Amino acid sequence: MRNINCAGRSILAVCSAIVLLAGCGKAVDTNSGNAPADTTLSAVGSLAASDTDSAKAPAGSGTTSASEAESSAKTEAPTPTAAPTASPTADPTPAPESPAVPSEDPAGIDFVSAETALYTYEQMMTDLSEMAAAYPDLLTVTSCGTSLDGRDIPEAILGNPGSEHHILIQASIHAREYINTLVAMEQIEYFLHHHADGMYADASYDQLLSSVCFHILPMSNPDGVSISQFGPDAIRNEELRNGLYDILQNDRDGGRTSGEDSYWRRWKANARGVDLNRNFDAGWDMYEGVPYPSSDHYKGTSPASEPETQAILNAADACNAMITISYHSMGGVIYWDYGSTGEVYDKDYALMSLVSVMTGYSGSSSVQSSQDAAGCSDYFVLVRGVPSVTIENGWSECPIGIEEYPSIWNANAELLPALAFTYKNG
Ligand SMILES: [Zn+2]
């Protein structure tokens, strides 16, 4: 076991989470992997810093900025009975003061390197292959779909595929929010790296991995991420690539943008300008957004019209996911509820409470509107009755720079073990 280090989260909070959610008051080895690394990681951060065409989320105000938030708080969330570090009524969570500069890569540098926020599709595929080869009994990697530009959308299957308890996690459905791919990849590595010595409450990581199965899509929108990282030349299909320039011109003509580099860097959609998190069949008719392909807020021609949306649905259907997590940026907040009722609402509240205690982020109840609908979590909660939350990592403009990664990692390091512990019995 590793020394307890509670820089990002109090031991009390973790114990309280277990008391609240698992009825367990036993000693905790937080294994808090607090440690990310690198003091030499500023190159990509400067990209975000120079990006001025976005509104920052005002710390301590009622909602995140319209340009960033995937949902907006409409009603007050009830207060969990025990959540010392997280008040679900406050939104967004203030940025932490001077996050500790880590001395080593959070999950170990064996596979996934957190040296740069510019973590690419190709690097992710290499790292997934190497991890699966190193831990063949614990991790398999498959494809749950193919993007418009022909990229496999990988699904990392971590744990016991024969389990009855399956948890779906997807990240980077919004292109510029690709810092979350790094989070998801390091969560996989962290669980694998500590499978033999990690403990959560009274359960070993090995026990947890035999009891549940995670289905993790670290990059749901690989074409969009590639556009955000490298511009439209990252798209190999000529028709799609030309279409991107048409979309840019249309947004210029409409006064939605004046720049070009910042336009691509802040791209959220897929390779034909569909905002995938407005492409789900939950409030899709009601959602307005923009009526033409764009960098964001265009819902597509019909629900689930896009192969990347279908890939997420395929993965969830194939495993019969019992809960889902969507990673986005930014705001340090957890969206939940979506207008659910009864048992689904109660279960979504319990999930939000667990995530709130583990991450230190505040919960924010969100209900659909014409400006805010057709998202992935909305769909799973409202249509499938599957408890789901959206976690918004980071506090500054997207793309989030690597200087924020240590605090983001610290908030998310032990979320998977906590989910496994909580849901291992259904
Ligand atoms: Zn997003």
Give the distance (Å) from ligand 1 centre to CA of residue 336.
Answer: 14
User: What is the maximum alpha-carbon separation in the chain?
Assistant: 62
Place of tokens 């939350």: 389
User: Which residues sit opposite 327 in a β-bridge?
Assistant: 171, 391
Could you tell me the distance, in angstroms and rounded to a whole number, from the CA of residue 129 to the centre of ligand 1? 27
Residue 54 CA, ligand 1 centroid: distance in Å: 14
State pLDDT tens for residues 88-145.
444 445 555 444 434 455 555 589 999 999 999 999 999 999 999 999 999 999 999 9
Please state, in angstroms and rounded to a whole number, the distance separating the CA atoms of residues 278 and 262: 22
Task: Calculate how far, in angstroms, residue 174's C-alpha sits from the geometric centre of ligand 1.
Answer: 5
Which sequence spans correspond to the domains of the chain? 11-225+307-423
11-225+307-423: CATH topology is Aminopeptidase (3.40.630)
> What is the distance between the alpha carbons of residues 128 and 134, in angstroms, rounded to a whole number?
10
Could you tell me the distance, in angstroms and rounded to a whole number, from the CA of residue 15 to the centre of ligand 1?
Answer: 31
Distance 269 CA to ligand 1 centre (A): 10
Distance 327 CA to ligand 1 centre (A): 7
Residue ranges of E strands in 227-361: 323-328, 333-338
Ligand 1 mean position to 25 CA, how many Å? 36
Name the phi and psi angles at 143, rounded to 5.
-115, 130
Positions in the chain short of pLDDT 50: 1-92, 97-103
- 300 CA from centroid of ligand 1 (Å): 16
pTM of the model as a whole = 0.80
**The pLDDT value given to residue 107:** 52
CA of 71 to the centre of ligand 1 (A): 9
Task: Say how many Å lie between the CA of residue 63 and the centre of ligand 1.
Answer: 15
Q: How far, in Å, is the centroid of ligand 1 from the Cα of 270?
A: 12
CA 77 / ligand 1 centre spacing (Å): 21
pLDDT tens per residue, range 161-206? 999 999 999 999 999 999 999 999 999 999 999 999 999 999 999 9
Element holding 65 (H helix, E strand)? none
Cα-Cα-Cα-Cα torsion 396, 402, 407, 413, nearest 10 degrees, comes to 130
d(CA 253, CA 82): 52
Distance 329 CA to ligand 1 centre (A): 5
Q: What is the pLDDT of residue 426?
A: 86
Say which residue the tokens 């840019």 belong to: 248
Q: How far is the CA of 57 from the centre of ligand 1 (A)?
A: 14
Share of the chain residues as helix, strand and coil, in percent rounded to the nearest 5: 35, 15, 50
Q: Which two tokens stand for residue 415?
A: 């979320």
